[in-house]
Amino acid sequence: MARAMFEYTKTILKKVSFDTDLFCRELSKAIDRLLPYEIDELKIWLQKFTANKPELYSCLAIVN
């Protein structure tokens, strides 16, 4: 079940990446719901995902 939540989170973040505010809100929700080791995995995924999306860099502060 926990793994499904991580995959669901990635799917949602991909879908809302067009809107910075929405992306930040969904990322905050994800941090509240995911397990600590999943948050570490999410950080790695976010670095790769946002590499060519500079408008989303401000949201990365939520994870750190």
38 occurs within a structural domain:
yes
Cβ atoms 17, 52 nearer than 8 A? no
33 occurs within a structural domain:
yes
Cβ atoms 60, 46 nearer than 8 A? yes
Over the chain, what is the mean pLDDT? 93
Strands, E, within 1-64: which ranges? Answer: none
**For a pLDDT cut of 70, what percent of the chain falls above it?**
97
3 occurs within a structural domain:
no
Q: Which residues contact 43 (CB under 8 A, 6 or more apart)?
A: 63, 64
Say how many residues make up the chain: 64
10 occurs within a structural domain:
no
7 occurs within a structural domain:
no
Predicted pLDDT at 1: 60
13 occurs within a structural domain:
no
41 occurs within a structural domain:
yes
Domain range for 26: 19-63
Q: Residue 61: is its pLDDT beyond 80? A: yes
47 occurs within a structural domain:
yes
Mean pLDDT for the stretch of residues 3-26: 95
Predicted pLDDT at 64: 82
Q: What is the pTM of this model?
A: 0.90
Number of domains composing the chain: 1
Q: Which residues contact 57 (CB under 8 A, 6 or more apart)?
A: 50
